[in-house]
Structure 1
């Protein structure tokens, strides 16, 4: 087998509600370099995610060195993004960006078990880019489409990640269908506010 460079995983579009529910992670092999996947409750694995939303808050929560936390809000909820010395570009973006502003983020899902046993899910960003409202709106539409496609494919018997999600999560899929529809409706509401009658 030739040592080819590992291909970068496709970044999944996912809304905050579903992302924050994706508390189960796994690897497909025992190789220590094997990618870690987050299991999305709609039956898809995600090693990388692509999110767009409003950066509402940034804070340096590091003790010895800079470690930036950002809150990014989409129509369904909030993502938490953390970047430190190993993500210098993302960290400086969090340091320099004004809030509120629209941002597009590609990053890896990270899970962290708290002392009380609950699991927090966050994004470790590879890149953070300021974007326009149009880009944000397009992301909402496309993410809603992807979410509804995953829900539709969930019942397919051969969908191994859906079967796994059934085992790992006790979550109604309707939650994500409704979230996607509400996210689309929120765009219509914004447009009607912007267009004076």
Structure 2
């Protein structure tokens, strides 16, 4: 029987919760063991799946191309970075013209700044241009998964919820109105870039990358 490793599930998570996450961990001492980002609602994420509006892109590389994309969902902003080790994703970012709906599968990356804060970004495995219906389905799925995690948070057998309570000084119940507001927003204008318009100036500057 094949012992080939299975791919980790790509978690659907809204930008606000993703950016609140800062704690990473491994579950074994194996050098090649997966690195997980601990979501505040009590789940581990080695990979994430997000859909939103690409509002900006920029080649921030020195010499080699290194693309940064700013992707907005109804709750906030994701930053994705793709370079020579993610050639397909980098090529897609190079060719896309914002605003555009995109679906991204990738791995969370954390980076501690000089002042001790932690920036979280996504290292994309794939970036795909999608339509408004795909974005809307993702919002529904992400809201559903978020609410499910909140419901399971107080389960005594939920080890990741216990870990989240220890690592984060956050109220998990704050993510419930966030998810519901994202769902309610689907009834509003569905023009391209509406996420960015609804979110307004979120005050998030592009994080530095090491």
Q: Output the TM-score relative to the length of structure 2.
A: 0.89
State the partner residue of 1:176.
175
| CA displacement at 1:3 relative to structure 2 | 7.2
**Match in the other structure for 1:130:** 129
- Aligned partner of 1:140 in structure 2 is 139
Summarize deviations over 1:33-82 as a string: whole Å, max 9, x none: 00000000000000000000000000000012100000000000000000
The residue that corresponds to 1:105 in the other structure is 104
Paired residues, what number? 190
> 1:4 Cα deviation (Å)?
1.7
Q: Secondary structure at the match of 2:189?
A: helix
What is the CA–CA distance in structure 1 between the aligned matches of 2:83 and 2:186, rounded to whole Å? Answer: 33
Query: Which residue is equivalent to 2:202?
Result: none
Tell me, what secondary structure is at the counterpart of 1:174? Answer: helix
Structural mapping, 1:1-197, within 5 Å: 4-190=3-189
Distance 1:105 1:40 in 2: 18
Partner of 2:198: none
Question: In the TM superposition, what is the alpha-carbon distance from 1:189 to its structure 2 partner?
Answer: 1.7
What's the counterpart of residue 194 of structure 1? none
C-alpha distance in structure 2 between counterparts of 1:74 and 1:148, whole Å: 17
Could you list the runs of 4 or more consecutive aligned residues of structure 1 that deviate by over 3 angstroms after TM superposition?
none
Query: What whole-Å deviation, never above 9, does each CA across 1:81-107 have from its counterpart, x for those lacking one?
Result: 000000000001110001000000000
Q: CA deviation at 1:154?
A: 0.2
Q: Post-superposition shift, 1:190?
A: 2.3
Deviations 1:10-46 (A, max 9, x none): 1000000000111000000000100000000000000
- For the residues of structure 1 that align with 2:80 and 2:91, how far apart are their CA atoms? 13
Segments of structure 2 that go 5 or more residues without pairing to the other structure are 191-210
What are the ranges of 5 or more consecutive residues in structure 1 without an aligned counterpart? Answer: 192-197
Post-superposition Cα deviations, 1:125-151, rounded to whole Å, max 9, x if no partner, equal: 000000000000000001000000000
Q: TM-score, normalised by structure 1?
A: 0.95
The 3-state SS of whatever aligns with 1:70 is strand
